[in-house]
Amino acid sequence: MKKVELESFLKSLTLFFTSQAILVGALFWINYQKELQTLDEALFSEMRVCSYTLNCKKFEIDFVPADKYEPYKLYKNNNELSAYFSIPNSTKNYLKLYLPKEKYQNEILKLKKKNNFTFLIILLIIFGLSVLFSLYTLAPLRNALRLTEEFIKDILHDFNTPLSTLRLNVSMLKKSQENISKIERIENSVETILRLQENLKAYLQNHELQKEECSLGNLIQERVKLINNTKNIHFKIQPISLKLQCNRDAMVRILDNLISNAIKYNKKDGQVKILVNNETLIIEDKGKGIKNPKKVFERFYKEQDRGIGIGLHIVKKLCDELGITISLESELGKGTRFYLDLHKIVKR
């Protein structure tokens, strides 16, 4: 189950189960109060019978002055449950039958245990129904996601032929032309489309379980050499010896997006620093900065005309899959610094 499906399932399950549990809980509470009343009435009936036969082991017997109490009425206080009955040929005293507090609490405890057990069984049934209901409501979403992914995969597959043709013809043009600056711009645009294609493929895949060992330092050097096709940006890379245990393709997509952004939105003759501090990878540029750092990971959010606004959203998704905590600091006109906490994927 994918993250968005799991989130939808848990929300549906929580909403349905909680609402039903509250409703059933309220009904059980009302029923419990009625059963308490029924218990008192049943005990009072037993007292009435006992007042005639005096053959009752459950209740205690006493005699009280007749002028202080009202007969044939149930009394409840903190110490006991009692009732008073008239005595034949006696007008001065009443017969008092009472149930001591401990015995009365035992009767209530039995009632509570019975109700709690029934309530627990009902909750388990509701939970099972909630799971079935959530899975049922999740089906249309899963179908829609599946169709969307299949559609995107088909489009990405269809990209391969024209892109391969473009790359081949650009290579041939470079050999036959002296002024190749315009051709290089075309070539860079083709490479950008290819990176976007790889980003979309990465977005559709789950990389969490596909792990391998890779050297972070070598990976960074490799990606910088491949992506940095301009001489206007200067890289300052600290020697990095960290070994990672993660999905290499996902890590490549993360680095490619962050490094290409650091180049794309930098100033002329700008600088990009890449270093590691306490198992945290830091990628810092001296570029334009970001107006709303809290929104950069939102899908389709962008502050420039360039791009379509999914690069950093994909980075965040891949970081979540790999167990990397990503954050950033940015100041307009001074640059941006991304922090990737890698401690969960560092090979010990």
CB atoms within 10 A of CB 282: 15
Can you tell me which residue has the tokens 């029923």? 31
* Minimum mean pLDDT range among 63-77, 104-118, 172-186, 327-341: 172-186
Q: Which two tokens stand for residue 168?
A: 């081949």
Domain boundaries, the chain: 3-136, 210-341
Model confidence pLDDT, tens digit, residues 276-313 = 999 999 999 988 888 888 888 887 777 666 656 677 88
- Three-class secondary structure of residue 243 per DSSP: strand
Cα–chain-centroid distance for residue 320? 11
CA distances from 87 to 27, 51, 94 (A): 43, 9, 6
- Starting at the edge strand found earlier in the chain, the sheet holding 325-331 runs 234-237, 271-277, 280-285, 335-341, 325-331
pLDDT for the residue 25: 92
Per-residue pLDDT, 207? 52
CA distance 289 to 303: 10
pTM for this structure?
0.52
Read off the amino acid at residue 321.
Answer: E
The secondary structure of 178-235 as a DSSP string is S--HHHHHHHHHHHHHHHHHHHHHHHHS--SS--EEEEHHHHHHHHHHHH---SS-EE
CB 234 within 8 A of CB 271: yes
| Beta-strand relationship, 271-277 and 243-246 | unpaired
Residue 325: phi and psi, rounded to 5, are -90, 120
Segment 6-60, tens digit of pLDDT: 888 888 899 999 999 999 999 999 999 999 899 889 999 988 888 888 887 888 8
Evaluate the CA torsion angle 68, 71, 75, 80 in order and state its sign: positive
Pairing of strands 234-237, 271-277: parallel
* DSSP code for 281: E
Average pLDDT over every residue of 125-136: 91
Which residue has 């109700």 as its token pair?
115
Got the DSSP string for 65-91?
EGGGS-SS-EEE-SSEEEEEEEETTEE
Nearest by Cα to 315 from 302, 336, 297, 329: 297
| Residue 322: CA count within 13 A, CB half-sphere | 30
> What is the third-level CATH fold of 210-341?
Heat Shock Protein 90 (3.30.565)
> Tens of pLDDT along 192-249?
677 677 766 666 665 555 688 999 999 999 888 888 766 678 899 999 889 999 888 8
Q: Cβ neighbours of residue 187 under 8 Å, at least 6 residues apart? A: 167, 170, 174
Per-residue pLDDT tens digits for 160-192: 677 777 777 777 777 776 666 677 677 767 776
Nearest to 235 by CA among 206, 269, 209: 269
